[in-house]
Structure 1
């Protein structure tokens, strides 16, 4: 029984990994496809290098070549110290496999969110809100329920923090190349943590993506935003609940958390709603109310919330729940740049506060394989609807491209890539 519980915890939280911010979505050109030739060139430091040989085609010499290049690019006066930490290191193929199958993008949003916002998790989170020091919520303005929701999702309240060598994981991601610039930057920070004596190498453990501790901080955020809340002279996000939760609050506050406002609301869309407006420009509540949108629970946004720019989100298309995303939704995405992740955190926090469940039901859609995600992106781009990267990550740019294709094809432009639609797109190109 204990083994089964641990496996469930690993499945539900260990795959959490930081989502990199994407460039802004391309503008919606109703009735006109955006061709690759017409699109302006976009620098994609994290995701442009998607065309990387499969891990099986790599070898140790190649990895050593990458290490030499990394030390030349980033070593500086610490080159010898970095080289000592990288000595004898080999790539971890598990890291590459997991990088291509992040659940935020492979599982349907409803399946991901329902697993994250289970009744058992919400009940435990409610019992643990007292773990958030009062002075943390007062100082940073982030509600305890949001912090506890992150704590639950990232590590099951500290129980599953990841036991992988952070330096090896980040070196593997940098060598593999899909997010090389980002991974090399994180690796440098991780090496600095060890060399500066902030954490010994044996204790620098985390997820396959290099996220560390009870609230799964990346090395750069640990160095910039880590808080020694318990006052023992160390930022210990692994062993100190207070340090981990205060550090998470500091990250959200620095990302622009708006005090006294929620993350968003479930909404009911009127018949004839223009789905092309979803996930587009943000407007005040008066704009959406004027188009017949209403809050599902019969609530009303506060005066401050009503004045904020908000977007309509359709995480599982026109057939699933719809949400009004306020600024704090996007602040949560500074923690993990995934719509599914941010909704899971917000809805868990709502459950902690005792808000009723969603009115709309989630469709029971099949998951998307990596081949389907890449195939759909390749097809859309070949058809003239540039996804700005063929990397298997179905983010805002892929959804925007799909929405343009749906508009041209006379379909409901909800931007939702189902497994069925991915298969159809793949058949449209050689």
Structure 2
């Protein structure tokens, strides 16, 4: 589904925020027995670290002068002061170029995020979500707790990179230059305007900042000073961070009093080609035999909205009715798996029951398989609108068309085995 222009306003907030693992619960270990000290141990070589990409300081300095010419304007002297002596960070270049070899199935991602430990930790922090924030923005406490957990493990994992150095490195490297230069200008404005000291402007390697992992543009546009101390402190103030997140969701169109969606049970003979298609009112789905997995029906307000059926792991996995608030959550991270993780964590915090249908276990899909499947579908006449290894809506739609044409159940779900089959079919033409 395309986000509206209103949602695109805030898409970058968490574009690069990593998924945070749930911190382990503390355990007490018994003392280890004393061991004799070895005599004359054989020196062991230190493990090899990945080689950092070479960077050219002269080239970086040249880019910097160009940046100042393009964006400095009346603030050129201040920007030049903050960029003085800056060197590119090779680790940022390495991380930006590092593409994961395997794609995690949706179930693996969600199950790693939605755990009893994380839900328990969120419940323990419920009183740290200001009630007036919930009242003002209409975003439920459990949704804010779920985002807080996912983005930074409740503030514990915020990133310690120099945001200005990271963004300058990304801009110099050039893969996303226009985006990085715009974010860098906003980061410099944060410092120049006194909104945050340079030494405290820390974040992820890609520039996402604080407990809610805001990019600089969204910090300037959507940050909230909930404490009233004159500063937006998404790093050290729970209240500011959570109010800022609530403001983002509210501005993206959060609908008060409505759920993000529901797990549903699909009837025998359901037309799976309807999944991820046009959003329809509940009456449309109900007439086709769709029912809520937990029984009952959506509220009257929810039933009047339009929603889509999502099959994040195909016909064998759980199915969901995605309501408008699901797509609002995707303003934080435009990923079905991410939005489901937030929604299901929030459900757990609110005491709602878990999924009825279990996630199936599947082998991961390598990048070569994903790229190969896209090339195969396109070669077979089912254009995926690009070959990039990302199995998005266009690829799933192309796969559904192939499945319909070949008498398969058209759930649009690519598995490792199906990728291999598609590649073999295309090669055998």
TM range (shorter): 0.7 to 0.9
Which of the numbers 5, 15, 18 marks the counterpart of 2:18?
15
Q: Does the Cα contact within 8 Å between 1:378 and 1:390 map onto a contact in 2?
A: yes
Match of 1:193 in 2: 190
User: How many angstroms does 1:390 deviate by?
Assistant: 3.3
* 1:78/1:369 CA distance change after superposition, 3 Å: farther
Which of the numbers 77, 88, 91 marks the counterpart of 1:90?
88
Q: Does the Cα contact within 8 Å between 1:96 and 1:176 map onto a contact in 2?
A: no
User: How many angstroms does 1:80 deviate by?
Assistant: 4.1
Q: Does the Cα contact within 8 Å between 1:213 and 1:238 map onto a contact in 2?
A: yes
User: How many angstroms does 1:393 deviate by?
Assistant: 3.0
Matched residues in 1 for 2:188 and 2:390: separation? Answer: 28
Match of 2:30 in 1: none
Q: Does the Cα contact within 8 Å between 2:53 and 2:94 map onto a contact in 1?
A: no
1:97-137 CA-to-partner distances (Å, cap 9, x unmatched) read: 3665479x921110110111000100111121111111000
* 1:158/1:420 CA distance change after superposition, 3 Å: same
1:55-96 CA-to-partner distances (Å, cap 9, x unmatched) read: 958755555554454444433333443344344321434554
Q: Does the Cα contact within 8 Å between 2:259 and 2:325 map onto a contact in 1?
A: yes
Which of the numbers 155, 159, 165 marks the counterpart of 2:156?
159
Q: Does the Cα contact within 8 Å between 2:263 and 2:293 map onto a contact in 1?
A: yes
Which of the numbers 287, 295, 302 marks the counterpart of 1:290?
287
Match of 1:406 in 2: 403
Unaligned runs of 5+ in 1: 1-12, 18-54
Which of the numbers 342, 347, 364 marks the counterpart of 2:344?
347
User: How many angstroms does 1:398 deviate by?
Assistant: 2.8
Matched residues in 1 for 2:205 and 2:222: separation? Answer: 21
1:266-285 CA-to-partner distances (Å, cap 9, x unmatched) read: 00111111111111110000
Matched residues in 2 for 1:72 and 1:375: separation? Answer: 43
Which of the numbers 131, 153, 159 marks the counterpart of 1:134?
131
Matched residues in 2 for 1:414 and 1:62: separation? Answer: 49
Matched residues in 2 for 1:426 and 1:62: separation? Answer: 42
Using the size of structure 2 for normalisation, the TM-score is 0.81
Which of the numbers 310, 313, 319 marks the counterpart of 2:310?
313
Match of 2:178 in 1: 181
Which residues of 2 match residues 28-427 of structure 1 at below 5 A? 59-60=56-57, 63-64=60-61, 66-87=63-84, 88-94=86-92, 96-97=94-95, 100-101=98-99, 106-427=103-424
Matched residues in 2 for 1:373 and 1:236: separation? Answer: 41
Specify the SS of the correspondent of 1:267. Answer: strand
- Supply the RMSD in Å over aligned alpha carbons: 2.6
Q: Does the Cα contact within 8 Å between 2:53 and 2:90 map onto a contact in 1?
A: no
Specify the SS of the correspondent of 1:310. Answer: strand
Matched residues in 2 for 1:77 and 1:278: separation? Answer: 52
Higher relative contact order (CA 8 A, sep 6+): 1
Matched residues in 2 for 1:60 and 1:203: separation? Answer: 25
Specify the SS of the correspondent of 2:306. Answer: coil
Using the size of structure 1 for normalisation, the TM-score is 0.81
Paired residues in the alignment total 380
Matched residues in 1 for 2:235 and 2:246: separation? Answer: 16
